[in-house]
Amino acid sequence: MSDYLGEYSYLGTTLRQANIEPMPSLSDVRRVVTEYGILPLGSQTVHESAPLVKSMLIAGPHGTGKRMLVNAICTELGANLMDLTSDNIVGKYPGKAGLTMLLHLVMKVGRLLQPTVVYLGNVERVFMKKVPKTDLSDPKRLKKDLPKIIKKLSADDRILFVGTSRTPWDGDVKGMCGCFQKIVLIPRPDYASRYLLFKEMIIQNGGRITTSLDLSSLAKISDGYCPGHISTAVKQVLTERRVHMLSKKPLVVNEFVTPLARLDPIYKEEEEQFRKWFAKTPLGKKRARLKAEEEENKDAGKGGKGKGGKGKKGKGKGKKGKKEKSTDCDSALIPLL
């Protein structure tokens, strides 16, 4: 799990004080996956006493390390990985009886060889309303049986279902949220994470960090690029020939610009799609509701303090002001919800 690089977001508290909800950092993602996926399955005692997490959905753009997190969970736990991705099981165990046998074997072997991680890649295809005609993998095959199996898991079963998705809005939100207990949204890396990613990946690929390489500028111009993009760019620059030349010709920022320019970053439109999708999930709705209540309480408190405190007449005005302020706040928050 330590190989999943990401820095802590130091601006999170400052942004919240300015009534701006910050996006989670890669460090937060690593912590949440550890708490939900690794700690409960690492010990039978912890698994039985801690809140039971049966399934988890990891959503994020291409190149953010979703599959790497699944592999990291298995590595940390020494768990067995079972791949139930629709492309992997196409043509295997055909028919309804075959599907029943497949799921029976997965659960039987999974219980015997605990801990077990059951992986479902591109899980939004399972919950699609309409499957494209070009897709011959029959992705909706598991749609009915998957929620039933997850629901039957008990505290004695150290089995975790992990799904990944790069376009979660293509699937039915209600079906996906009913199937997966926890949803982890991976954002694009912030400045601190990009700085750390470039520094560590350059060293891992045989490079050297010198004063000629301005990592701060490199982290700024790479805004919007994922860890996968950064890894690709570093590998393209640090060829075997270039590594041998480092003693005579140190690395400079311009060498990384061309490889990055060939890659498509995460655009604001795609990031906004993830925000809108997450707002439709139960956790997103809960956060919006809590935020609305906080805003309402703050505005109501200001209205009460401004006109109350001077006799009965003053108190009456304070109450009236409080009520009016609360109504205005409700009408202002309708577009946000």
Q: Which residue has the tokens 């799609």?
A: 273
What is the overall mean pLDDT for the chain?
83
Residue 269 CB coordination number (10 Å): 7
Is residue 64 within 8 A of residue 226, CB to CB? The reply is yes
3-state secondary structure 115-169: CEEEEECCHHHCCECCCCCCCCCCHHHHCCHHHHHHHHCCCCCCEEEEEEECCHH
Predicted confidence at residue 304, as pLDDT, reads 58
Return d(Cα 73, Cα 79) in angstroms, integer: 8
Find, among 65, 85, 94, the residue nearest to 230 by Cα. Answer: 65
DSSP annotation string for 167-225: -GGGB-HHHHHHH-SEEEE-----HHHHHHHHHHHHHHTT----TTS-HHHHHHHTTT-
Predicted confidence at residue 6, as pLDDT, reads 83
Return d(Cα 246, Cα 236) in angstroms, integer: 15
pTM over 0.95: no
Q: Which residue has the tokens 């079906």?
A: 175
Q: Classify the phi-psi angles of 116: left when phi > 0, otherwise alpha if psi is within -120 to 50, otherwise beta.
A: beta
Predicted confidence at residue 199, as pLDDT, reads 93
Mean pLDDT, the chain cut into blocks of 10 residues (337 residues total): 82 72 82 88 80 89 90 92 88 86 91 91 86 78 88 88 91 87 89 92 91 92 92 93 91 92 89 87 81 78 56 45 40 34
Q: Which residue has the tokens 């953010």?
A: 64
Structure tokens at 297: 């309480």
Predicted confidence at residue 305, as pLDDT, reads 54
Is residue 158 within 8 A of residue 116, CB to CB? The reply is yes
